[in-house]
Homo-oligomer: A and B are copies of this chain.
Amino acid sequence: MKTYTEYLTFQTAHKREIVLITPQLELAVAKSGVQDGLCFVSAMHITAAIYVNDLEDGLIADIEDWLEELAPSGVDYRHHRTGEDNGDAHLKSLLLHHECTLPVTRGKLDLGPWQQVFYAEFDGQRKKRVVIKILGT
């Protein structure tokens, strides 16, 4: 069995940003030498998420609106008594889930025709990390 670990670093220009990461994951799978197995990818922060969906600008804006509706900013969260102002970012991270597993077949991510992987930042403008762990043969 092979294992491969890689860390990505993101520093987004905006507080909230959705970043396509499929190409970086494909590169990691190629470097791992794994032909058949699983590619696990996880935000290492509690105000970001990893998700899989369509690369379509309108839909990405819809997802951002939907997250804001179900996990709104501008609320007087208890968490803000610590001096933080990012309570909504924690809830948005929980809603989308901070990690994702992807199948690897014949040395490539085994995704459907429209599946793309995204890093969703909800409290950016500073360095944050993502861990990739690939297991397989």
Determine if A133 is an interface residue (Cβ-Cβ < 8 Å): yes
- Give A1-45 as 1s and 0s: 1 = Cβ < 8 Å from B's Cβ atoms: 101010000000000000000000000000000001110101111
Indicate if the CB atoms of B52 and A98 lie closer than 8 Å.
yes
The interface on chain A, measured as residues whose beta carbon lies within 8 A of the other chain's beta carbons, has a size of 59
Indicate if the CB atoms of A58 and B79 lie closer than 8 Å.
yes
Indicate if the CB atoms of B99 and A3 lie closer than 8 Å.
no
- Give A111-135 as 1s and 0s: 1 = Cβ < 8 Å from B's Cβ atoms: 1111100000000000001010101
Q: Give A47 to B95 CA distance when docked, in angstroms.
A: 17
Indicate if the CB atoms of A44 and B112 lie closer than 8 Å.
yes
Partner of A133, one of B38, B77, B111: B38
Interface residues of A in 67-83 (CB under 8 A from B): 70-71, 77-82
Indicate if the CB atoms of B1 and A59 lie closer than 8 Å.
no
